[in-house]
């Protein structure tokens, strides 16, 4: 007589079949994801190769300019004159000559007589260095032409963040390389310096592998812990893995994905510490952050760091809206770096704001 119950064997058999179906469905789904991913990786690998092939960099700059040391990582070689050429699809975007002095700094004026009473030292990245521009078109050079009482130095180098400025000042080299006891330090800030300060994936796996790596110790003091590679080896391995994924590279994905308030605060703290060290070295010297005109392709405005600079008491000049970088002639055609005209406009505004002709 049927009593409405199913035997234990029937229940176990049904459960087993459902379990096997689920396992097979999961395995098939994972296989499908893997095959799709591999296909996407091959596709984006080809697209990356095509994009990379469109752009070429030539000249002695890529063989004779860069050197590496324990202080700042990459830096300019001393007393060299090198050529840098960028092409896209064979067309020349820029063809510029870069000249350095005995300390590897890009020269900031053809003749700087000893009677220039004060120093004016620029720190920053390619915007300061003057990538794609001739020596006499850079921001420091054009300021030197307008401020005859200042001996100007260009400590900029392509790819730098604020940590190079702090490392240079902490090393004692800056005090030995600058001849005058009083003057001004100007740090030229662009938004991407935040990612360089924190060592994001794209920075730490490419040009910034040997960048100085700063952390807070137990007493909340900002201290150096080697480089991005040596100071955080486990994160470096993870970033190297992610950085090798062609799909991520094609879309320009970086980690952390977003710049947060903590990242901005940390960057400002590096800048503030550099200011404090500079005043220890030269008590009569000034310090100022120049917020460069915003690039239309930047992920944020340079103004986002202003609240942190204010909180830390760091002086700044907000030039983010001084030049509309979207207009023709504001950047090098075919390149995002500022043109000579934009640099001249910023130089004139800086000279006026800091009263460098007084």
33-42, 158-167, 307-316: the lowest-pLDDT one: 33-42
Do residues 165 and 291 share a domain?
Answer: yes
Residue 153 and residue 259 in one domain: yes
Asked whether residue 39 falls in the same domain as residue 71, the answer is: no
Instruction: List pLDDT tens digits, range 126-150.
Output: 999 999 999 999 999 999 999 988 9
Is 205 found in the same domain as 151? yes
Per the structure, how many domains does the chain have? Answer: 2
Question: 39 in a domain, yes or no?
Answer: yes
Residues 172 and 116 in one domain: yes
Q: For residue 256, is it left (φ>0), alpha (ψ between -120 and 50) or beta? A: beta
Can you give the pLDDT at residue 10?
A: 56
> Which pLDDT does position 248 carry in this prediction?
85
Domain boundary among 33, 58, 83: 58
Residue 247 lies in a domain: yes
Is residue 216 domain-resident?
yes
Mapped onto helix, strand or coil, the DSSP state of residue 212 is strand
Pairing of strands 222-227, 212-216: antiparallel
Give the domain range for residue 120.
Answer: 59-353
Close Cβ partners of 314 (under 8 Å, ≥ 6 residues apart): 268, 271, 272, 275, 287, 289
Residues 25 and 75 in one domain: no
Strand 91-99 to 81-88 pairing: antiparallel
**Residues 199, 127 share a domain:** yes
From 35, 58, 81, the end of a domain falls on 58
In a domain, 120, yes or no: yes
**pLDDT higher than 60, residue 11:** no
Residue-wise pLDDT for 290-318, tens only, equals: 999 999 999 999 999 999 999 999 999 99
User: In the predicted model, what is the mean pLDDT of the chain?
Assistant: 92
Q: What is the pLDDT of residue 351?
A: 98
Average pLDDT over residues 167-172: 96
Which tokens sit at 28? 């098939």
Q: 234-263, pLDDT tens digit by residue?
A: 999 999 999 999 888 888 899 999 999 999
pLDDT at residue 1 tops 70: no
Nearest Cα residue to 187 out of 141, 146, 143, 127: 127
Show the tokens assigned to 179.
């001849």
- Number of C-alpha atoms within 13 angstroms, CB side, residue 220? 2
The pLDDT-based confidence of 353 (bands split at 50, 70, 90) is very high
Q: Residue 248 corresponds to which tokens in the numbers above?
A: 């991520």
Answer yes or no: do 139 and 19 share one domain.
no
Q: Are residues 103 and 194 in the same domain?
A: yes
178 or 51: which carries more pLDDT confidence? 178
Same domain for 105 and 235, yes or no, is yes
- Please give the share of the chain, as a percent, with pLDDT higher than 90: 77
Report the relative pairing of strands 81-88 and 73-76 from DSSP bridges: unpaired
- What residue ranges in the chain does DSSP mark as E strands? 55-58, 66-69, 73-76, 81-88, 91-99, 118-123, 150-154, 183-189, 212-216, 222-227, 286-291, 316-318
113: confidence class by pLDDT, cuts 50, 70, 90: low
Identify the CATH number of the domain in which residue 118 sits.
3.40.50.1110
Band of residue 16 on the pLDDT scale cut at 50, 70, 90? confident
38 contacts: CB under 8 Å, gap ≥ 6: none
Domain final residue, candidates 15, 31, 58:
58
Whether residues 204 and 126 share a domain: the answer is yes
**Residue 358 in domain:** no
**Shared domain check, 188 and 126:** yes
Given strand 316-318, what is the order of strands in its sheet?
150-154, 118-123, 183-189, 286-291, 316-318
């Amino acid at each position: 007589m049927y009593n409405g119950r199913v035997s234990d064997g029937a229940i176990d058999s049904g459960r087993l079949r459902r379990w096997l179906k689920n396992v097979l469905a999961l395995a098939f789904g994972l296989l499908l994801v893997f095959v799709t991913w591999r296909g996407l990786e091959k596709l984006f690998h080809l697209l990356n190769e095509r994009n990379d092939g469109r752009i070429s960099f030539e000249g002695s700059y890529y063989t004779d300019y860069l050197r590496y040391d324990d202080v700042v990582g990459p830096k300019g070689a001393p007393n060299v004159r090198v050529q840098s050429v960028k092409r896209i699809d064979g067309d020349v975007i820029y063809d510029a000559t870069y000249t350095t002095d005995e300390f590897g700094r890009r020269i900031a004026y053809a003749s700087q007589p000893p009677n220039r009473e004060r120093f004016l030292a620029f720190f920053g990245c390619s915007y300061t260095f003057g990538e794609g521009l001739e020596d006499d078109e850079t921001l420091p050079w054009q300021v030197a032409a307008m401020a005859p009482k200042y001996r100007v130095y260009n400590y900029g180098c392509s790819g730098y963040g604020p940590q190079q400025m702090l490392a240079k000042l902490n090393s004692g080299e800056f005090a030995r390389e600058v001849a005058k006891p009083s003057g001004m330090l100007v740090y030229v800030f662009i938004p991407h310096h935040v990612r360089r300060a924190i060592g994001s994936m794209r920075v730490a796996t490419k040009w910034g592998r040997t960048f100085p790596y700063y952390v807070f110790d137990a007493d909340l003091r900002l201290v150096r812990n080697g480089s991005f590679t040596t100071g955080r080896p486990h994160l470096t391995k993870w970033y190297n893995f992610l950085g090798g994924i062609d799909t991520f590279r094609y879309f320009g994905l970086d980690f952390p994905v977003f710049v947060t308030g903590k990242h901005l605060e940390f960057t400002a703290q590096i800048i503030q510490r550099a200011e404090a060290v500079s005043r220890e070295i030269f008590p009569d010297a000034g310090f100022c952050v120049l917020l460069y005109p915003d690039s239309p392709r930047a992920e944020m405005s340079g103004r986002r760091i202003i609240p942190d600079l204010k909180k830390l008491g760091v002086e700044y000049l907000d030039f983010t809206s001084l030049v509309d970088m979207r207009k023709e002639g504001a950047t090098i055609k075919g390149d995002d770096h500022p043109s000579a005209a934009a640099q001249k406009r910023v130089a004139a505004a800086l000279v006026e704001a800091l009263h460098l002709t007084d």
